[in-house]
């Protein structure tokens, strides 16, 4: 009986080792194949002494900023690298995306250098890649952020793609460009945008007779 238990225990240990080993191989392939050696470009990345805080103006919910780069470094990335970075922002950060309601929520931007809030030079601008999730449509627009008060810039997102249904849902990949002390920076983050308010019932969603063209 004791020998049988030893054999069972041995096989359990072997099985556990196989599971752990397989998971380790999966993580290695995931890290070094899909996000090869420069994987730091696909993780939360900051520039020393420069910080961007993005939040909802209405309730101060924080929007995760995935990466901040000096603009010159970002521009040197190949298109393939930028695409991987965008995919990471979409797929890996999806659990952290904040849902904004059109005409109700406003993004607030605060800029810091060495821990002190400062005002960027000139007017920050957003490049927005908007994906209409139900219809696979994508559009890119550029918008200046001209509203400024109480030490922060404010921006109210609008739908970008044509609206085909009563309720829509878009995923916005946002690249914010700004200048601090004569140096240009970009920060990357994503949000969800919808017109479905708190009392909306998606069971009532229906296709419109005619699509509503883009808002901006």
| pLDDT, tens digit, 9 for 90 and up, residues 68-97 | 999 999 999 999 988 888 777 766 556 678
Tell me the HSE value of 153 on the side-chain side, using a 13 A CA sphere: 24
Per-residue pLDDT for 201 more than 60? yes
Lowest mean pLDDT among 65-69, 91-95, 184-188, 208-212: 91-95
- Report the distance separating Cα 104 and Cα 98, nearest Å: 14
Between 56 and 6, where is the model more confident?
A: 56
- Report the distance separating Cα 54 and Cα 204, nearest Å: 33
Residue-level pLDDT at 23: 40
Per-residue pLDDT for 118 more than 50? yes
- Report the distance separating Cα 177 and Cα 181, nearest Å: 14
Per-residue pLDDT for 64 more than 60? yes
Is the CB of residue 64 less than 8 Å from the CB of residue 189?
yes
Residue-level pLDDT at 215: 54
Contacts of 212 (CB under 8 A, 6+ apart): 162, 163
Q: Percent of the chain, pLDDT > 90?
A: 46
Provide the greatest CA pair distance for the chain.
80
Contacts of 69 (CB under 8 A, 6+ apart): 45, 47, 185, 186, 187
Average pLDDT over residues 179-183: 96
Residue-level pLDDT at 177: 97
Residue-level pLDDT at 70: 94
Residue-level pLDDT at 96: 74
Residue-level pLDDT at 73: 92
Residue-level pLDDT at 82: 86
Residue-level pLDDT at 114: 93
Per-residue pLDDT for 100 more than 90? yes
């Amino acid at each position: 009986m004791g020998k049988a238990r030893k054999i069972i225990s041995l096989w359990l240990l072997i099985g556990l080792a196989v599971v752990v080993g397989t998971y380790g191989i999966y993580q290695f392939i995931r890290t070094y194949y899909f996000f090869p050696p420069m994987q730091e470009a696909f993780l939360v990345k900051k520039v020393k002494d420069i910080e961007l805080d993005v939040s909802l103006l209405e309730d101060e919910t924080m929007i995760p900023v995935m990466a901040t780069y000096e603009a010159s470094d970002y521009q040197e990335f190949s298109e393939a690298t930028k695409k991987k970075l965008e995919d990471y922002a979409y797929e890996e950060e999806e659990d952290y995306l904040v849902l904004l309601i059109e005409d109700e929520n406003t993004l607030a931007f605060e800029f810091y250098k060495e821990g002190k809030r400062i005002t960027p030079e000139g007017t920050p601008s957003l490049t927005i890649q908007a994906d209409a999730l139900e219809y696979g449509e994508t559009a890119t627009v550029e918008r200046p952020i001209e509203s400024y008060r109480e030490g922060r810039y404010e921006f109210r997102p609008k739908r970008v793609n044509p609206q085909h249904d009563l309720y829509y849902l878009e995923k916005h990949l946002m690249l914010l460009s700004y200048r601090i002390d004569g140096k240009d920076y970009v920060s990357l983050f994503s949000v969800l945008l919808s017109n479905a308010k708190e009392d909306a019932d998606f069971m009532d969603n229906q296709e419109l007779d005619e699509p509503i063209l883009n808002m901006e």
